[in-house]
Amino acid sequence: MKIMMGMNEAIAILSHTPLIETVDTVPKGHLRIATAFRYPDGSTVDLFVVNRRDLLSEIGPLTLTDFGNTFLWLDQLDIRPLKSVRRKRLTEDVLNTYGVTHDKGALSCMVNADDLLAGIIRLGQACIRVADLTFTQRIAAQGSFTEEVESLIDDTGLDYEPNAKLPGRGNVIVPVDFLIRAPRLDMAVFTLPAESSYPSAAKTRANEVFARCYDLRDWQGQRIAALDDRRALYREDDIGRIRDVATVIPISEAGALRQLLSAA
């Protein structure tokens, strides 16, 4: 590649690449690249090479960015990638995988002139992977009960840790499905799923949750058991024992769980 190459030469080179549909310049002089990548609704992923003198000079890297279009696309669906703990973790995992950074909503990476095409592919993949956060809204319908509960917790914006461990009475280490760090009161959330067809599995799980809550009876936080009551799998006496050591909230009353979490 030439040491110095301007916009016209860059457009000529990129226009002959199958993954790039059109290349042009925008009023501020940035190079706009309409890629073959698509957001989940089928719209085009547009990337930009930030305008600078001697665009493809080998001296110094280029800035490749989406100018915030991916976050804006999600925002139109009322999804904030960095607002909740879970989505922020998923977003950062994607960005780390592709070596992409974000600043004020814009996804970008620095590339040398010789690596421009590879950078376009890398950033384009990151954009569509981040846009796939739209599917996190469907977890409740398609995923496990534990994922459904996590989605409810995640929507509150509270800081939480899945698969946490707490010290219990007698130095026992107690596994917790979700440990929520709230401003006024920490909460340990346990799940009572109804995904098995066997009542014996529900009995075993109920005993586990009771034992864990009992071991945390001296813990200065709130113990919550989220119950999947859409199937009559758990015996009332087992749930009654858990009520003695924790607050049991059926998933049919998801609003009550949200209210409890928001008040913490």
Query: Could you write out the DSSP letters of every residue in 227-254?
Result: E--SS--S-HHHHHHHHTTSEEEEGGGH
> For the segment 201-232, what is each residue's pLDDT rounded down to a tens digit?
889 899 999 999 999 999 999 999 999 998 88
> For the segment 42-85, what is each residue's pLDDT rounded down to a tens digit?
889 999 988 765 555 555 688 999 999 999 988 887 788 887 77
CATH number of the domain at 143-263, out of 3.40.1160.10, 3.40.50.410, 3.40.50.150, 3.40.1350.10?
Answer: 3.40.1350.10
C-alpha–C-alpha distance, residues 90 and 177, integer Å: 19
CB 219 within 8 Å of CB 172:
no
Confidence of residue 9 (pLDDT cuts 50, 70, 90): low
CB 111 within 8 Å of CB 57:
no
pLDDT recorded at residue 59: 53
Helix (H) or strand (E) holding 44: strand 44-49
pLDDT over 80 (residue 31): yes
Exposed/middle/buried for residue 168 (C-beta within 10 Å: 0-12, 13-18, 19+) = buried
> For the segment 136-171, what is each residue's pLDDT rounded down to a tens digit?
655 444 458 888 899 889 888 889 999 999 999 888
| Least confident stretch, 145-149, 196-200, 258-262 | 196-200
pLDDT recorded at residue 55: 54
Instruction: Kindly state the tokens that stand for 68.
Output: 């915030």
Per DSSP, helices labelled H in the chain are 7-14, 69-75, 85-98, 116-131, 139-142, 145-155, 199-215, 236-243, 254-263
pLDDT over 90 (residue 247): yes
Mean per-residue pLDDT over the chain, rounded:
85
pLDDT over 60 (residue 101): yes
C-alpha–C-alpha distance, residues 2 and 5, integer Å: 6
Share of the chain above pLDDT 70, in %: 88
pLDDT over 90 (residue 200): no
pLDDT recorded at residue 42: 86
pLDDT recorded at residue 141: 43
Domain boundaries, the chain: 7-138, 143-263
